[in-house]
Chains A and B, each alone.
Chain A
């Protein structure tokens, strides 16, 4: 575990052993970093899985050294999308922006010294490790046992997320520093907070669903039995067993999970755009309301995944309207970002580039989302390629861009060094071009097979480009995955040899974490604790010498402009 040694800040403190310092440390910073390492590991495993999937789709006969030895049954291929999805969604998109950066920076940004329940935090970290281990090893064992192991691991992950969501919520409510009123919270903290509340609610539902599923598998109850036998239910299946039940419970969770992945990214991107454009956030209160709106509506739109599953005829319309009404908070956020960027004199560093990449991907993914929110469109057999392209753009890749933006922004605080900028920009442009080359053609594939269902469609013409399009996507994904080597190299190299950051606040940012050394000392703010005097985005305040005022600087210490 490569965590920068900050022991020098406390010469009087005896050095802790490796185990108590890294494995069982209750320090929120250590735990946050460990989540980031877990996410880094998972993202590369998940990417390898997607690579295998696409290679199999485009060139089915290709021999892949290690995997071919496992035997390539259809079940094993079918496990790939499940495991790719669960690794990416749970251990990358849920873990990195919320649990990783959140654990590290939420206490620092609100001026708390620790999370509310440090022991519980350690518990959630290690249950997450267990579930990562379970999810990855589910791939290597026999399919049926693998599915059981997968469900158990997901339940364990639910428990981990629930306990850390509890921690986040209580920390934000009760542990804020003196003067840190709710309107003064940085938008990142707002996003983490709302997200934790949303997580509290929906992960309980997934846990209940997993419990019923496990009971079906272990005690042969019949909550969802019909799911396993869509073609011909065997004699022992209870007559009332209902796959719709599973769909309801699962999508109640899973649709909200999309916003669980996105909310912290919204917070991070708003924060970064304000900091780099040196302007206060446009209509900050409205943006906070928009974040709440995303959480609230995200909690209510589960039905839009079930348009084709026989709901009450009125409900598709309701869910359709609800899903489309997500456009309102999304528009507020977009307008706020563009308003901050408009005519601003920003420095286009890698962090901001990734934040802008997020905006671009969110916008293009969101537009295809508007199509999918229409219930008549979705029930009209748009094939999975369109949906895959849509949610990878808007959720998977966009969130990854926000994570990378946050990493480039906070790397100096995390490790006291900078990531290499030219390498970062190279990585950005390769990835940015790569993901569009991969996921845009997927939309066309989806629409193409939709058209092919029409009577009188020119099937020959459609077939003639579907094969090459698949190969193009696969070539794109190979290039994109290998472009990540640039990032991995940059990350590991900068960890040891990056430019040292001597100053506390290299970005001239306003929030509390920049008031302390990089990396922060073991006990964060020390004895008296910080006092907060103003909101989080005091940029370009008239009559002040600098273009920003940190939150912790007392009003009488602010230097006036002459």
Chain B
């Protein structure tokens, strides 16, 4: 018993929960289905509950929201205090982009419905459509940048244009993270994973809808701040 050399009054109650030389070495049962690196080693406990992924994404979203709120408050402050606010002419294509992104969120939900009905093929097909629509949105944003550049509006032109590029750029980077997550769900073999496909799809869809809502907020801010 490991506590044996403890001070005399301790061993009375301190009963080592696990017994045996600290670590209770059960032999490794030789690679049980190759889990995600850190958790797949024989004698250990089961990996912690996959609930941690949903919690994690919720907290990450709060943090991302805070990041964009800081940018938005900077926008409002400068817009409010500036005497000469040269508004950016927002390219028309942004409306189309917004529609594509919202459509992608809708398709994603249809796709998850297929999965819950047990239609894995239909799920993959629709999920792929949603992913492509996400990429289309990013491409559309790039087109909007090109149009502004063609008009001679650069990031350093004035404060409004700086905010336009910063907002769309930061949102685009976060959205590309979402696209990567969508592709991950599509391509990953979930038989060997700690997390089921439906849970992965659910968590990814939270983030995707969050990106959707965030874009509408930023777009409204830019539109109303003209």
Identify the A interface with B (CB < 8 A).
9-13, 26, 112-114, 116-119, 162, 165-166, 169-171, 173-175, 200-205, 207-209, 211-212, 215, 219-223, 238-242, 244-245, 248-249, 252, 502-505, 508, 515-517, 520-523, 525-531, 544-546, 549-550, 552-554, 557-559
Across-interface contacts of B70 in A (CB, < 8 A): 204-205, 208-209, 249, 252
Are A553 and B13 within 8 A (Cβ)? yes
User: Among the listed B3, B18, B21, B49, which residue makes an inter-chain contact with A525, where contact means beta carbons less than 8 Å apart?
Assistant: B18
Contact of B17 among A12, A207, A215, A552 (CB under 8 A): A552
Q: A170-B56, A174-B49, A175-B52 are in contact. Are A26 and B21 (CB under 8 A)?
A: no
Residues of B within 8 A of A522 (CB): 23
Residue from the list A9, A119, A201, A515 in contact with B37, Cβ < 8 A: A119
Q: In whole angstroms, what is the CA distance A238 to B166 when docked?
A: 17
B14 → chain A closest CB, angstroms: 6
Question: Is the beta-carbon distance between A527 and B48 smaller than 8 angstroms?
Answer: no
Contact across chains for A112 and B48 when beta carbons are under 8 A apart: yes
In the docked arrangement, what's the CA distance between A515 and B28, Å?
A: 23
B62–A201 contact, CB under 8 A?
yes
Which positions 1-50 of chain B face chain A at CB distance < 8 Å? 2-3, 5-7, 9-10, 12-18, 21-28, 37-39, 41, 43-45, 48-49
Query: Bound complex: CA of A223 vs CA of B155, how far in Å?
Result: 11
Judge if B59 is at the interface, Cβ distance under 8 Å: yes
Taking CB as reference atom, which chain A residue is nearest B85?
A240
Residue of B nearest to A208 (CB): B70
Across the interface, do A201 and B66 meet the contact criterion of CB distance under 8 Å?
yes
Q: Within the assembled complex, what's the spacing in Å between the Cα atoms of A239 and B160?
A: 13
- Are A166 and B60 in contact, CB atoms less than 8 angstroms apart? yes
Of chain A, the residue at the smallest CB distance from B65 is A204
Question: Which segment, of B76-84, B132-140, B145-153, faces chain A?
Answer: B76-84
Output the nearest chain B residue to A548 by Cβ-Cβ distance: B13
Q: Besides the contacts A242-B81, A554-B15, what 20 more A-B pairs have beta carbons closer than 8 Å?
A: A119-B37, A166-B59, A207-B67, A208-B68, A211-B170, A215-B162, A220-B156, A239-B82, A240-B83, A244-B77, A245-B74, A252-B70, A505-B3, A520-B22, A526-B43, A545-B12, A546-B10, A549-B13, A550-B13, A557-B15
| Of the residues B52, B67, B158, contact of A117 by C-beta under 8 Å | B52
Q: A175-B52, A221-B156 are in contact. Are A526 and B12 (CB under 8 A)?
A: no
Indicate if the CB atoms of A9 and B156 lie closer than 8 Å: no
Q: Does B64 contact A (CB under 8 A)?
A: yes
Least CB distance from B226 to A in Å reads 16
Q: Is the CB of B81 within 8 A of A240?
A: yes
Of the residues A245, A517, A523, contact of B44 by C-beta under 8 Å? A523
Is the Cβ of A208 less than 8 Å from the Cβ of B26? no
A521 to B162, CA, bound (A): 53
Minimum Cβ distance to chain B for residue A153 (Å): 18
Least CB separation from B18: chain A residue: A526
Q: How far is the CA of A521 from the CA of B59 in the complex (A)?
A: 31
12 of the cross-chain contacts (CB-CB < 8 Å) are A10-B23, A12-B28, A26-B37, A166-B56, A170-B55, A203-B63, A219-B156, A248-B77, A502-B5, A515-B14, A517-B2, A545-B13
Which residues of B have CB within 8 Å of A553? 13-15
> Is there an interface contact between A26 and B38, defined as CB atoms closer than 8 Å?
yes
Cβ–Cβ contact B10 & A222, under 8 A? no
Query: Nearest CB to that of B11 among chain A residues?
Result: A503
> Cβ of B67 and Cβ of A204 under 8 Å apart?
yes
Q: A116-B52, A204-B70, A219-B155 are in contact. Are A550 and B25 (CB under 8 A)?
A: no
Q: Which residues of B contact A249 (CB under 8 A)?
A: 70, 74
Q: Quick one: closest B residue to A120, CB to CB?
A: B56
Interface assignment of B51: CB less than 8 Å from any CB of chain A: yes
Q: Does B71 contact A (CB under 8 A)?
A: yes
Interface residues of B (CB under 8 A from A): 2-3, 5-7, 9-10, 12-18, 21-28, 37-39, 41, 43-45, 48-49, 51-52, 55-56, 59-60, 62-64, 66-68, 70-71, 73-74, 77-78, 81-85, 155-156, 158-159, 162, 166, 170
Query: Across the two chains, which residue of chain B brings its CB closest to A248?
Result: B77
Q: Taking the nearest CB of chain B, how far is it from the CB of A160, in angstroms?
A: 13
Docked CA distance A554–B82 (Å): 66
Contact of B155 (CB < 8 Å), options: A10, A112, A215, A248: A215
Given contacts A212-B74, A503-B10, A552-B17, A13 and B28 within 8 Å (CB-CB): yes
Q: Smallest distance from the beta carbon of B218 to chain A beta carbons, Å?
A: 13
- Minimum distance in angstroms from B46 CB to a CB of chain A: 9
List chain B residues, Cβ under 8 A from A252: 70
Cβ-neighbour of A505 out of B6, B24, B162 (below 8 A) = B6
Most interface-central of B18, B49, B66, B166 (chain A CB within 10 A): B18
Closest to B160 in A: A240
B56 touches A116 (CB 8 A): yes
Q: Which of A162, A221, A248 has the most CB of B within 10 A?
A: A221
For the complex of A and B, the 4 pairs showing the least CB-CB separation, nearest first, are A240-B82, A517-B22, A521-B23, A208-B70
In the complex, which residues of chain B have a beta carbon less than 8 angstroms from the beta carbon of A523?
23, 41, 43-44
Across the interface, name the chain A residue whose C-beta is closest to B79.
Answer: A240
Task: Give the distance in Å from the alpha carbon of A208 to the alpha carbon of B64 in the complex.
Answer: 10
A173, B63: Cβ atoms under 8 Å?
A: no
Name the residue in A204, A545, A552 with the highest tally of chain B Cβ atoms < 10 Å from its Cβ.
A204
- A174 with B51: CB separation less than 8 A: yes
Partner of B166 from A174, A200, A212, A244 at Cβ < 8 Å? A212
A117 neighbours in B (Cβ, 8 Å):
52, 56
Residue of B nearest to A200 (CB): B63
Q: How far, in Å, is B206 (CB) from chain A's closest CB?
A: 15
Question: B52 to nearest A CB, angstroms?
Answer: 4
A244–B28 Cα gap in the complex (Å)? 60
Which residues from A are CB-within-8-Å of B45? 113, 525-529
- Chain A residue nearest to B71 (CB atoms) is A208
User: How far is the CB of B65 from the nearest CB of chain A, in Å?
Assistant: 8
What are the residues of chain A within 8 A of B9 when measuring CB–CB? Answer: 546
Chain B positions within 8 Å of A240 at CB level: 78, 81-85, 159
Contact present for A222 and B49 (CB under 8 Å): no
For the complex formed, measure the closest distance between the CB of A178 and the CB atoms of chain B, giving whole angstroms. 11
CB of B38 within 8 A of CB of A114, answer: yes
The answer to whether A504 touches B6 (Cβ under 8 A) is yes
Q: Which residues of A contact B22 (CB under 8 A)?
A: 9, 516-517, 520-521
Chain A hits for B56, CB < 8 A: 116-117, 166, 170
Which residues of B sit under 8 angstroms from A546, Cβ to Cβ?
9-10, 12-13
Assess the B71–A212 pair: CB atoms within 8 A.
Answer: yes
Let me know if A119 and B38 touch, CB within 8 A.
Answer: yes
In the bound complex, what is the Cα–Cα distance between A508 and B6 (angstroms)? Answer: 10
Q: Kindly report which residue of chain A lies nearest to residue B24, judged by CB atoms.
A: A526
B188 to chain A, nearest CB (A): 15
In contact, B83 and A503 (Cβ under 8 angstroms): no
Quick one: closest B residue to A526, CB to CB? Answer: B24
